[in-house]
Amino acid sequence: MNPRNNIVCESFGWHDEKEIFKFQITNSHGNYVELINYGAIVKSIVVSDKVGNKENVVLGFPTLEGYVKDQSYIGATVGRFANRIHNAAFSIENKTYHLDKNDGKNNNHSGSAGVNNKVFDFIIEEDAVIFSLETENGEGGFPGNLKTKVTYKWTDQNELKIEFLAEADEPTPLNFTNHSYFNLIACKEKIHHHQLTIQGSKILESTADYIPTGKIVLADEYLFLKDKLKDVIQNSGLNLYYIFDRNTKNDNWVCELSEEKSGRIMRVYTSYPGVQLYTGDYLNCDSIGEHNKLYSSFDGLCLECQYYPDSPNHEHFPNTIFQSGQVYSETIIYAFDVIK
C-alpha cells in the first residue's frame, strides 16, 4: 500500500478494537523513519553511519505488544503535560485540580490522561503524517476538552520535524514532547561513549524525586560541552532540566549528540525554552526490542525538549496554562548527519 510517493502505510495490529497502522517515510537517500498511530510513536529512525551502513538509532519494538506493555514511554508522544507535577495537583484561578498519583505522590507524564498509549486518528499528506486526538474534560483530572495534532515530516536533509498543535475549551496546562531514546551506534554498546553538548549553562534544581525546587542554578559539574556521557554521569544516571542560554527562539541547534565509532551526529533544534536530559537509567523492558535485545539501563538517552516541569506550581517559570481557544504550537527537529 503506497498512498504517497514516499509514505507507505500498513497494518500493525489492533488495540481497543481500533486498528493500529505503521507508517514508513523514506527520503531520497533511502533513509527512513517509522511511526505508529498508537501513542503517535516514533518506532525507528534508520540513517547511515560514516561508511554507509543504515541502522536504527532509536529504541523501539518490532510488535505492537511491546509498546502496549512498555512502561518507559519508548518513542512516544508525551502530554497533555509532560514531566512531573508536584503532589499531582495544581490550581487555576483559585480552583485546585487533582491528578493521578502515578509517580509516588506526584503526577508524571499525565498519568491515565497521557496520550502515550492512546490511539490517534491520522491523515497522510504529500510529505507528512498528521496524528490527531481528542481528549475529554476531566480525564485524569485535567480541565478542558482538548484537541491535539502531532505532525511528522522526514526531509531529504535527514531531519525529523515534529510539530505539536493543541487547543482546549478551558484553561489547562499543556506541555508536549517526544520521548525517543537515542543510541547512535544502534545499540551495539551503551550510551556512555556518546559525546553530548547542551547549549544550556543553567539547570533547574530538583529534589530526589525530580521535582523542581523553584531555584535556577548553574549546571557546573553537569555541564555538557562535547563531554562523554560517562564522564559526567559517573555511573549513576541523570534526569535534569537544562535551560537554554538563548534569550529568544532562533534557528541554532540547542543539543548535539555524536558517537565516534559510527560517525553519526544528531543536532536538536526546537522552539522550547529547555530540554529534559534523561540517560535511561530506569530502562527495564521485558519485550525484545528492535535491536534483538531486552533494553536496560543506559541503552538510550532522551533529549525531551519541553517547557519547565511542574510549571503550573511555579509562578516565575514560563507560563504553561493555555486559555480557552489559545493555540499551543511548538516544534522539535532531530537532524542527523555524519561527522565530517
Give the residue numbers annotated as catalytic, written as ranges: 179, 304
Please give the Cα distance from 230 to 192 (Å, whole number).
5
**Radius of gyration for the alpha carbons in the chain, expressed in angstroms and rounded:** 19
Report which residue type is found at 280. Answer: G
Euclidean distance between CA atoms 5 and 25, whole angstroms: 9
**Cell 481528542, located at residue:** 134
Strands (E), 155-298: 159-168, 172-173, 177-178, 195-198, 202-206, 212-218, 225-228, 239-243, 255-259, 264-270, 274-278, 284-288, 294-296
The b-or-e profile of 11-28 (16+ CB within 10 A means b, else e) is ebbebeeeebbbbbbbbe
**Gap between the Cα atoms of 219 and 162, Å rounded:** 28
Alpha carbon distance 197, 328 (integer Å): 28
Q: Rounded to whole angstroms, how far apart are CA atoms 112 and 221?
A: 36
**Of 155, 120, 90, 111, nearest in space to 22 by CA:** 120
Task: Please check whether residue 85 is in contact with residue 76, taking contact to mean a CB–CB distance below 8 angstroms.
Answer: no
